[in-house]
Chain A
Amino acid sequence: MRVLLIAGLGALALYPLVGSAFYLQLFAKIMLLAVFAMSLDLLVGFTGLVSLGHAAFFGLGAYTLMLLSPEYQAASIWLSLPVAVGVTAVAALVIGALVLRTSGVYFIMVTLAFAQMLYYFAIKSKALGGSDGAYIYVKPDAALLGWRPFDLGNRVHFYYVALVLLIGTYALLRTVLRSLFGHVILGIRANERRMGALGYPVFRYKLAAFVLAGAIAGVAGYLEAAQFGYVSPEFFGWQESGSVLMMVILGGVGTLFGPILGAFALTLLQDFLSDEAVFHGFHKHWLLPMGLFIVLAVLWLPRGIGGLALRGPRAVPETADD
């Protein structure tokens, strides 16, 4: 497992040496989606909260950057990114405090409803650019006291920023899952009622997980908006929430590397199936083979692609011997 992980990481780190501009951009986007998917898996796979509205925070991160970017001028990443994290964290705190009073299928519906509210708000609001969305003409500037460690406008730089974020998120979540807090949320996923009887105020811990997941999704959304210089209500859309959930399920719920694999598999497959040069005309119907693939994957790989390389149960706390 560890060998695969390091090999994959090495391949990603070296890819810019050989990759075309198009694929460099696509891979950077996939890595952002992988971060987004990992944050959702913190809820779905590790806390037991199936959210169908996680795009709410992805979109809020994106729109925060748009609002903070002066027209024809760059926003400082060192100011706008922390603000985006703050905005999404506070939004997740408020939304979480409401939706976490429900559970099961109601939780799915209520999270979806909140994301849809933001979606329609973005469509109706002139300040947010309405249904057309809005452009961010200049990418956020990384200059800090005259020093510019990286330039988001440079494709290779952006790629490495996304890669560092991917590794950083993985490391952060891995640490969190091994922490006192991490063991509590795993306990909640396994047996919420028993956790209450042991004395844990489960609501508080679920809310903390919801806020952390929301803030990470906000960072991913922020960078996605920065990458393409554009935001639209679709950032909040249920398709966005649904496809990231699909990445988590396809990759392997309750693992950290699963969502990364899911993000790569789903996006690259879409790229391949909609390639006109390969499928001559049939590429317009890419959703058809895609749907078939998903159905087969769920039937044959109930533990996701990541489950192929995994022994033992998922989403269990760290024990002394691993």
Chain B
Amino acid sequence: MTDPVLQASGLSRRFGGLAAVSDVSLELHLGEVHAVIGPNGAGKTTLINMLSGDLAPSAGSVRFRGREIAGLSADRIARLGVGRSYQKVNIFPEFTLLENCRLAAQARLPSSLRLFRRALAETALVEAASLALTLVGLDQPWDRLAGAVSHGEQRQLEIAMTLATEPKVLLLDEPLAGMGAEESERMVGLIARLGESHAVLLVEHDMDAVFSVASVLTVMVNGRVLERGTPAAIRESVAVQQAYLGAAETAS
């Protein structure tokens, strides 16, 4: 197997007395979609926040291509090539769809401290933004304000922005939440395609989607890793059925 692009070991995060994540280890490889599932409060988003630098781990290490990145700021980690999307839509609502993505693409420039270089004259950035918008299947016109489009389209935009930064690692926090069936299907197809060339970590509640795109699944419960394996192995796991799938089924 190839070296992992992103490798977390012994990651823990405490909030006061609450251990949100305890001793989680995980490897992300290029060409692989690694799904993390678990009931609400299992610590999935906290895990993503630690990998992306939004939250410093209380203990443990995160390595990106062998380099320790735990504790670096979110923007440093993003520039190294770790992109994330948010569970709650986190966009620039007053800007157009295109500008949202153009600004994301611009983050790849070594420096934006250029006060006299007209932003729109950098056509490569506009093209990169258009490409990302096309990839996620966001319909034209792209001069619509991001705050005025449907929730599903905002979710697509969220992913497009992350893609426009050209990351190697994609941390997707519930990308399907609030999407319609058709949008959802298209997004699953996109995640599968992205998985071929990126290392993808997918946190998602839609089990059909998870089992169709993921090659590895990690099941978290109460901040710990309960089980890990291929979709088939996880489906068979008694522990998982008891702790999670069974519980979810009785609940619904």
Chain A residues whose C-beta falls within 8 Å of the C-beta of B96 in the assembled complex: 319
Q: Does B109 contact A (CB under 8 A)?
A: yes
- B121 to chain A: closest CB distance in Å? 9
Q: Does A190 contact B (CB under 8 A)?
A: yes
Complex Cα distance, B144 from A278, in Å, reads 52
Once the chains bind, are B106 and A183 in contact (CB under 8 Å)? yes
| B114 interface neighbour in A181, A196, A320, Cβ under 8 Å | A181
Q: Does A155 contact B (CB under 8 A)?
A: no
Once the chains bind, are B143 and A317 in contact (CB under 8 Å)? no
Once the chains bind, are A317 and B95 in contact (CB under 8 Å)? yes
Contact A199/B113 with A184-B106, A319-B143 known, Cβ cut-off 8 Å: no
Once the chains bind, are B75 and A200 in contact (CB under 8 Å)? yes
Complex Cα distance, B114 from A208, in Å, reads 10
Contact A321/B115 with A178-B120, A190-B95, A199-B107 known, Cβ cut-off 8 Å: no
Once the chains bind, are B75 and A179 in contact (CB under 8 Å)? no
Complex Cα distance, B99 from A184, in Å, reads 11
Once the chains bind, are B112 and A200 in contact (CB under 8 Å)? yes
Once the chains bind, are B107 and A198 in contact (CB under 8 Å)? yes
Q: Does B196 contact A (CB under 8 A)?
A: no
Q: Does A197 contact B (CB under 8 A)?
A: yes
Q: Does A175 contact B (CB under 8 A)?
A: yes
Give B145's nearest chain A residue, CB to CB: A313
In B76-109, which residues have CB < 8 Å from any A CB?
76, 78-79, 84, 86, 90-96, 98-99, 102-104, 106-109
Mask for A187-215, Cβ within 8 A of B = 1, else 0? 10011011111111110110010001000
Q: Does A182 contact B (CB under 8 A)?
A: yes
Complex Cα distance, B107 from A196, in Å, reads 9
| A194 interface neighbour in B91, B117, B126, Cβ under 8 Å | B91
Number of A-B pairs whose CB atoms are under 8 Å? 114
Once the chains bind, are B106 and A180 in contact (CB under 8 Å)? yes
| A199 interface neighbour in B78, B102, B143, Cβ under 8 Å | B78
Give A173's nearest chain B residue, CB to CB: B115
Chain A residues whose C-beta falls within 8 Å of the C-beta of B94 in the assembled complex: 190, 313, 315-316
Once the chains bind, are A193 and B75 in contact (CB under 8 Å)? no
Complex Cα distance, B54 from A315, in Å, reads 27
Q: How many residues of B contact A (CB 8 A)?
A: 41
Chain A residues whose C-beta falls within 8 Å of the C-beta of B22 in the assembled complex: none
Complex Cα distance, B78 from A315, in Å, reads 26
Q: Does A132 contact B (CB under 8 A)?
A: no
Q: Does A176 contact B (CB under 8 A)?
A: yes
Q: Does B74 contact A (CB under 8 A)?
A: yes
Q: Does B46 contact A (CB under 8 A)?
A: no
Mask for A50-67, Cβ within 8 A of B = 1, else 0? 000000000000000000
- B187 to chain A: closest CB distance in Å? 20
Once the chains bind, are B78 and A205 in contact (CB under 8 Å)? no
Q: Does B232 contact A (CB under 8 A)?
A: no
Once the chains bind, are B92 and A184 in contact (CB under 8 Å)? no
Complex Cα distance, B143 from A182, in Å, reads 19
Once the chains bind, are B114 and A197 in contact (CB under 8 Å)? no
Chain B residues whose C-beta falls within 8 Å of the C-beta of A199 in the assembled complex: 75, 78-79, 107-108, 165
- B106 to chain A: closest CB distance in Å? 6
Once the chains bind, are B161 and A180 in contact (CB under 8 Å)? no
Q: Does A318 contact B (CB under 8 A)?
A: yes
Contact A193/B90 with A199-B78, A319-B99 known, Cβ cut-off 8 Å: yes
Give B114's nearest chain A residue, CB to CB: A180
Mask for A203-236, Cβ within 8 A of B = 1, else 0? 0110010001000000000000000000000000
Once the chains bind, are A197 and B74 in contact (CB under 8 Å)? yes
Give B103's nearest chain A residue, CB to CB: A187
Give B82's nearest chain A residue, CB to CB: A199
| B99 interface neighbour in A191, A201, A212, A317, Cβ under 8 Å | A317
Once the chains bind, are B104 and A318 in contact (CB under 8 Å)? no
Give A178's nearest chain B residue, CB to CB: B118
Q: Does B156 contact A (CB under 8 A)?
A: no
User: Which among B79, B92, B112 has the greatest number of chain A C-beta atoms within 10 A?
Assistant: B112
Q: Does B116 contact A (CB under 8 A)?
A: yes
- A67 to chain B: closest CB distance in Å? 29
- B83 to chain A: closest CB distance in Å? 8
Complex Cα distance, B92 from A205, in Å, reads 18
Chain A residues whose C-beta falls within 8 Å of the C-beta of B91 in the assembled complex: 191, 194
Once the chains bind, are B112 and A205 in contact (CB under 8 Å)? yes
**A and B contact pairs by CB, cutoff 8 A, 14 listed:** A175-B118, A178-B118, A179-B117, A181-B113, A183-B106, A191-B92, A196-B73, A197-B78, A199-B75, A199-B78, A313-B145, A317-B95, A317-B119, A320-B143
Task: A194-B91, A315-B94 are known; give 18 further A-B pairs, CB within 8 A.
Answer: A179-B116, A179-B119, A180-B114, A180-B117, A187-B103, A195-B103, A195-B107, A197-B74, A197-B86, A198-B103, A198-B161, A199-B107, A199-B108, A205-B112, A317-B119, A318-B120, A319-B98, A320-B143
In the A-B complex, the 10 residue pairs with the closest CB atoms: A199-B78, A199-B107, A198-B107, A199-B79, A183-B119, A180-B112, A190-B92, A180-B114, A196-B75, A184-B112
